Amino acid sequence: MMLKNDKKIWLSSPHMGGSELKYIQQAFDENWIAPLGPNVHGFEQDLEDFLQSDSHVAVLSSGTAALHLALIMIGVEKGDYVVCQSLTFSASANPIIYTGAIPLFVDSERETWNLCPDAVEEAIEFGISKGKKPKAIIAVSLYGMPYKVDEIKAISIKYDIPIIEDSAESLGSAYKNQKCGTFGDMAVISFNGNKIITTSGGGALITKDIAFKKKAVFLSTQAKDDAPHYEHTHIGYNYRMSNVCAGIGRGQMEVLEDRIAKRRANHQFYLDIFSELPEIEVHTEPHTDYFSNHWLTAIVLKTDSKVSTETIRMNFLEQNIETRPIWKPMHLQPIFRDLPYFGGEVAQELFEHGLCLPSGSNLTEEDRAEIGKVIRKVFQII
Ligand SMILES: *Cc1c(COP(=O)(O)O)cnc(C)c1O
What is the per-residue pLDDT across 9-68, written as a single tens digit (0 to 9) for each? 999 999 999 999 999 999 999 999 999 999 999 999 999 999 988 999 999 999 999 999
User: For ligand 1, is residue 92 a contact (CB within 6 Å)?
Assistant: yes
pTM, two decimal places: 0.96
Pocket test for ligand 1, best of 59, 61, 62, 64 (most atoms within 8 A of CB): 64
Is any ligand 1 atom within 6 A of the Cβ of residue 61?
Answer: no
CB 202 within 8 A of CB 192: yes
168 C-alpha to ligand 1 centroid (Å)? 5
**What is the percent of the chain where pLDDT is above 70?**
98
Give residue 76's identity as a one-letter amino acid code: V
62 CB less than 6 Å from ligand 1? yes
β-bridge pairing 297-301 and 174-175: unpaired
Q: Which pLDDT score is estimated for 303? A: 81
The separation between the first and the last C-alpha atoms of the chain, rounded to the nearest angstrom, is 27
Find out whether 111 and 137 touch, Cβ atoms under 8 Å: no
- Beta strands of the chain (E only): which ranges? 56-60, 81-85, 102-106, 136-140, 163-166, 174-175, 178-179, 186-190, 203-207, 280-282, 290-291, 297-301, 324-325, 341-342, 354-357
SS3 321: strand
Q: Is-contact 321 4, C-beta < 8 A?
A: no
Find out whether the beta carbon of 363 lies less than 6 Å from any atom of ligand 1. Answer: no
Q: How far is the CA of 311 from the centre of ligand 1 (A)?
A: 28
The tens digit of pLDDT for each residue in 222-264 reads 999 999 999 999 999 999 999 999 999 999 999 999 999 999 9
Q: In this predicted structure, what is the pLDDT of residue 43?
A: 98
Q: What atom in ligand 1 is closest to the CA of residue 202?
A: 7
- C-alpha dist (Å) from residue 318 to 3, 134, 187, 264, 323: 6, 47, 39, 26, 11
The CA 226 to ligand 1 mean position distance, Å, reads: 32
Portion of the chain with pLDDT greater than 90, in percent: 94
Residue 77 pLDDT > 80: yes
Residue nearest to atom 14 of ligand 1 (CA): 168
Give how far Cα 87 sits from Cα of 90, 111, 216, 360, Å.
9, 13, 27, 22
Torsion of CA 75, 79, 84, 88, to 10 degrees: 110
Is 24's C-beta closer than 6 angstroms to any atom of ligand 1? no
Q: Is the C-beta atom of 192 inside 6 A of ligand 1?
A: yes
Mutational pocket test of ligand 1: of 190, 248, 324, the residue with most ligand atoms within 8 Å of the beta carbon = 190
pLDDT single digits (tens) 169-217: 999 999 999 999 999 889 999 999 999 999 999 999 999 999 999 999 9
The span from the CA of 270 to the CA of 273, in Å, is: 5
How far is ligand 1, taken at its centre, from the CA of residue 91, in Å? 5
377 C-alpha vs ligand 1 centroid, how far in Å? Answer: 34
In the structure, what pLDDT confidence band is assigned to residue 3 with cuts at 50, 70 and 90?
Answer: low
